[in-house]
Structure 1
Amino acid sequence: MNRTRPTLDPQRLRLIESFARLGTVRAVADEHRLSPSSVSQQFAVLEREAGAVLFERSGRRIRLTPLGELLVVRARELLDRLESIAVEVGEARGVVSGHVRLAGFASSVVPLLATARSAVVAAHPALRVELVELEPHESVAALQRGECDVAVTFDQEDGSFRPDPGVVLLPLGSDPLMIVLPGGAPRSVSGLVELRDEAWVLDREGSFLGELVPRLCRRAGFEPTVAARFSTFDLVAGHVAAGHGVAVLPELAVRHRSDVVTVPLDGHGHRRVSIAVRRGSAGSGMAKALVAALRGAAAGVLTPPA
């Protein structure tokens, strides 16, 4: 007697995988650009396809049942395998080709992403590399949605970066923090306390540096006088260059500027920069080529990982 086996739709498996990572229907809807009601409908269809109860209600929220958790584990395995198959088929011709999106945070675009793209395109002329600016808190979700293929990111150590089981993180190097002074200023500054009487130019409130720098100043024994806050490092550095204050910025953000003076902020942290790639495509020729090129670009601008 023939029995009809359940057919599980890969797109609905992506939704339940997202739910396991994000924890709410609304967050899943935002990640996949759907309405919450549409996500709920897709979950109901998935339960019918699986012939099992995958979700249970807990107050106003839902959570995975043990069978739902099992399905997520198997879904991740399947989705990784599907991506690997697509990569293998695409590379069976023996040529690294196609269109790949390489993403990174703003200060990484010129020294890392653009340099890596030039190297990859020179080695693999059939590969088209598109650069995308993405902040660290956006990168993992963008990888999962397929909006980029490889991302350069860093942990801001503010809780916004969430490791993901479907994403492989490869250490790229560290980006030290620097005291930034107007051009022509003496380089003899050895610590923040010497700048207690200066005006300070800060990153926006709530950001990693926007909160860290005032905290470091307080540890040094003074409350910084804030002259300005900006949403980009270029604006912060430009304001310092114009003589309106001092700042603390990552070296990547200022290493190309000749209109400011930088002094290492020893002992006060750095950004740990990594390459993020979907687990299913990490072994592809495309990913390997980009990883090798990014490591080559990082050799001259980042401190090697420990």
Structure 2
Amino acid sequence: MLDLERLRALHSVAAYGSVSAAADVLHVTTSAVSQQLAKLERETGQKLLERNGRGVRLTDAALLLVEHADRILSLVEQAQADLEAQRGAVVGRLTLAAFPTAIRGLMPAALGRLRADHPGLSVLLREDDPLRSMPLVARGDLDMAITQDWNNEPMAIQEGLQKGVICDDVVDVALPAGHPLAGRDEIELKELAGDPWISSSSDSICCDWLMRTLRAIDSEPRIDHMAYEFATQLSLVAAGLGNAVLPRMGRCDIPDGVAVVPLSSPLIRRVYAVWREEAARRPAIRAVLDAIRASVPPELTPVEAAAAR
């Protein structure tokens, strides 16, 4: 009989490319993963890993086992979800990732609701960019992620994931107070063509979107500075170093020297949660989604989210 935890260890090595990376994800030592794999080799009578430079390579036998492990782990998760659904209890542990403004603008109130309404549920929250968090949900390393796309650039959801809309969030432009357009009631994005910009890091979904959006208005993007936190971006805007896009959800205090101007053709990001299809019947998934939706400021709540409550 193959041991489930040993299959999980092999599956993690295949997903993350090394024994040490698998150990980090599984929250165990590298030695513990190596021992699990050694026992699995003895159980199967097959060599599963081969040296490949400084790393390891999975053998054909290992790749075959990983294929089966993927299906087995999926079935186990589905079985757990079905049992929880049958009990109807919102219990257990749920791991959740969200991007910074979603954490600041949604999660404190949502977690407070969950603690009061479902004391048997433990939610582990972490900050992460959607470009990283969605693959982690798909692989089973996270139960749920709060992510986003844009009205001018919808994003496809990976196969095997489901999503639930949370809210729509309008984006304004933050300009240095001395900018020629800072006193306007609204502006068109194309009026800022050629300006310097301040964005999040180049490996983030927001920077990726901003680059493509600026190119769409015939402006080769000029990203002069990168900072992940909006408060830091606004400090750079106040210093006259460039413009920044500024969502309304979870907005921090606006420092002196910054003018926030709406766009006449609004750019809207849609915020939603994603989870694996196998886990869809977990009462905890629905409870967390409902709590987050209930924590959205009314002016940001889209019709779809209100109807789905």
What interval of TM-score do these two structures reach, taking the shorter chain for normalisation?
0.5 to 0.7
Distance 2:218 2:124 in 1: 46
Q: Structure 1 residue 237 and structure 2 residue 230: aligned?
A: no
Alignment of 1:102-113 (within 5 A): 102-113=96-107
Instruction: Give the letter for the 2:281 counterpart.
Output: G
How far did residue 197 of structure 1 move? 6.6
How far did residue 283 of structure 1 move? 1.4
Distance 1:170 1:126 in 2: 24
2:106 alignment partner, SS class: helix
Distance 1:138 1:266 in 2: 30
- Residue 62 of structure 1 is matched in structure 2 by 57
> Cα gap change, 1:140/1:289 in structure 2, threshold over 3 Å: closer, same or farther?
same
> Cα gap change, 1:285/1:55 in structure 2, threshold over 3 Å: closer, same or farther?
same
How far did residue 189 of structure 1 move? 1.2
Alignment of 1:240-259 (within 5 A): 240=237, 244-252=241-249, 254=251
Task: Spell out, residue by residue over 1:135-169, the C-alpha distance to the aligned partner (whole angstroms, 9 max, x if none).
Answer: 3344357658987543313479xxxx99585xx33
Percent sequence identity over matched residues?
Answer: 30
2:90 alignment partner, SS class: coil
Among 280, 288, 291, the alignment partner of 2:289 is 291
How far did residue 289 of structure 1 move? 0.9
> Cα gap change, 1:275/1:218 in structure 2, threshold over 3 Å: closer, same or farther?
closer
Q: Structure 1 residue 172 and structure 2 residue 169: aligned?
A: no
Distance 1:44 1:28 in 2: 15
How far did residue 287 of structure 1 move? 1.6
Instruction: Give the letter for the 2:260 counterpart.
Output: V
> Cα gap change, 1:63/1:127 in structure 2, threshold over 3 Å: closer, same or farther?
closer
> Cα gap change, 1:155/1:36 in structure 2, threshold over 3 Å: closer, same or farther?
farther
> Cα gap change, 1:95/1:303 in structure 2, threshold over 3 Å: closer, same or farther?
closer
2:186 alignment partner, SS class: coil
- Residue 4 of structure 1 is matched in structure 2 by none
Task: Spell out, residue by residue over 1:221-253, the C-alpha distance to the aligned partner (whole angstroms, 9 max, x if none).
Answer: 555665643221232134435665321244535
Among 133, 136, 141, the alignment partner of 2:130 is 136
Alignment of 1:115-194 (within 5 A): 115-124=109-118, 126-129=120-123, 131-139=125-133, 149-154=143-148, 163=158, 168-172=161-165, 175=169, 177-181=171-175, 185-192=183-190, 194=191
Distance 1:87 1:224 in 2: 46
TM-score, normalising length: structure 2: 0.67
Task: Spell out, residue by residue over 1:52-90, the C-alpha distance to the aligned partner (whole angstroms, 9 max, x if none).
Answer: 45567889752452x544533443343344445556666
Contact 1:21 1:164 in 2 (8 A): no
2:232 alignment partner, SS class: helix
> Cα gap change, 1:37/1:141 in structure 2, threshold over 3 Å: closer, same or farther?
farther
For structure 1, the 5+ residue unaligned runs are 1-6
For structure 2, the 5+ residue unaligned runs are 151-155
RMSD: 4.5
Aligned length, in residue pairs:
291
TM-score, normalising length: structure 1: 0.68
